[in-house]
Amino acid sequence: MQFRKGDKVKIVSSVDYPEYRKYVGRTAKVYRDGPDSSGLVAVQGLESKVKERVLGYVGFAPEDLQKV
């Protein structure tokens, strides 16, 4: 599935990264058209704006996301 910047998505799972399971069930926006070269889709809106600017955006595999 192809995601475009600005798409609203719901995190439905986090198979590859167990530390991101806390985000399952939340919605976010796709940060850039993806997936990127590593196969992940960057999403924004899961953390505070300051934390995202400093630490970067969280990336999920396309199968972990569902368009809303």
Q: What is the pLDDT of residues 17-55, one digit of tens each?
A: 889 999 999 999 999 997 888 899 999 999 999 999 999
Confidence of residue 2 (pLDDT cuts 50, 70, 90): confident
Q: With 90 as the cut, is the pLDDT of residue 63 above it?
A: yes
Question: Can you read off the two tokens belonging to residue 26?
Answer: 């939340």
Domain-by-domain residue ranges, the chain? 8-67
Question: Can you read off the two tokens belonging to residue 51?
Answer: 């934390």
Residue 30's Cβ-count burial label (10 Å; 0-12, 13-18, 19+) is buried
Q: With 90 as the cut, is the pLDDT of residue 15 above it?
A: no
Determine how β-strand 8-11 pairs with β-strand 65-67: antiparallel
